[in-house]
Amino acid sequence: MHSSSLLLLSLIQGHALAHTFIWGVFVNGVDQGLFKGIRTPAYNNGPNSGGYSNSPVKNLTSIDMRCNVLGDIQAPDTIKVVPGDVLTFDWHHDYRNDSDEVIASSHHGPSLVYISPDPPTEDSFVKIWHEGLYEEQPAPLEPGKWSTTSNLAKNGGHMNVRIPAGLKAGHYLIRAEMIGLHEGEVSYLKNPIRGAQFYPNCVQIEVTGDGDVSLPEGVSFPGAYDYDTPGVVYDIYCSTDKKRAATATVPCTTTYPIPGPTVWSGAWAETTSVPLGEVSAPTKATPWSTWIKSSVVTSATFTDRKSVTVVGTSTYAAHWSEAYQTPAAASGRWS
């Protein structure tokens, strides 16, 4: 990759006013730093409207379903863990603090976590946690209580998962995901303006120790979900509103089938939260903007919406390594 492309891709590791993704990771309650180990996606916040943004991903056949836009670009660092460690993913929208809304209040849906060897291969993502609709709401036009909005958003964006017991040492990708179903009553394939909205994000970890447990066969991204997968097309309102139910595009139901495979039997049966320490890095990232249109990545910085400086452009096509590559040393660009 040309040095200009590397420069461009390093500059997109900031954030401003984007849809939700992971800003930080706590290990057993200790913050690892702003964006450390996280493959932060691009965000279309620039003067060039259109193209792709960091989220949502709606095309289920796109490589962006794996780790979001530019998800094949490694973060410059990896988080070291041991089996049994509790990871807390700190999801946010604008700022890494309690004033942030985490995800729009309308974006009801499930949350899921997968783990895969790094780099991922065919059928390598294994589900280790999920949560969906956990309380029905009898009032008309109320969606009930969902993981994304009633749990994560109301608990500071904190998503907890434990490293499986006895997991073999090695490099892994954690694929964490939220799904917004507020427009999910019809598939994206039938109506690209609507459809379920997927917010995947990947975190690089290195498991250490002398564990001997290997991951079983999992699923692929893209490939794990299809437009007829239960839970992908789902009307979150129609089960409580008779008029809407009469015209629903899918049968109304008060239960929700979480997409993807069942949770691996080797995952922890329960993932409890742990007390979190102080955030050890800035809570607001340098404003930036990156958009992709016709395979051209454009990156810009700005001081306000009227003062935008285009940093550069490059041609981009996703390329996933077939062998683990040690990330370059962190450059301190998060300050």
Torsion angles phi and psi, residue 241, rounded to 5: -135, 115
Is residue 277 over pLDDT 90?
yes
- Report the pLDDT averaged over residues 298-315: 76
Helix or strand run (H / E) with residue 18: none
- Report the pLDDT averaged over residues 80-96: 94
pLDDT digits (tens, 9 = 90+) for 173-196: 999 999 999 999 999 999 999 999
In CATH, which of 3.10.620.30, 2.60.120.10, 2.40.30.10, 2.70.50.70 is domain 3-315?
2.70.50.70
pLDDT exceeding 70 applies to what percent of the chain?
Answer: 86
Average pLDDT, the chain: 85
- Report the pLDDT averaged over residues 74-96: 94
Is residue 128 over pLDDT 90?
yes
On whether the CB atoms of residues 179 and 20 are closer than 8 A, the answer is no
For 307-311, the CB contacts below 8 A with 24+ separation are 308/46, 308/47, 311/7, 311/8, 311/11
- Report the pLDDT averaged over residues 140-162: 93
Confidence of residue 9 (pLDDT cuts 50, 70, 90): very low
In this predicted structure, what is the pLDDT of residue 137? 80
Map residue 69 onto helix, strand or coil.
coil
Torsion angles phi and psi, residue 155, rounded to 5: -125, 40
Is residue 83 over pLDDT 90?
yes
Is residue 89 over pLDDT 90?
yes
So where are the chain's domains?
3-315
Is residue 114 over pLDDT 70?
yes
Highest-scoring range by mean pLDDT, 201-210, 233-242, 292-301:
201-210
Is residue 222 over pLDDT 70?
yes
The CB density around residue 114, as the number of other CB atoms within 10 Å, is 28
On whether the CB atoms of residues 137 and 108 are closer than 8 A, the answer is no
* Rounded distance between C-alpha atoms, residue 146 and residue 281, angstroms: 30
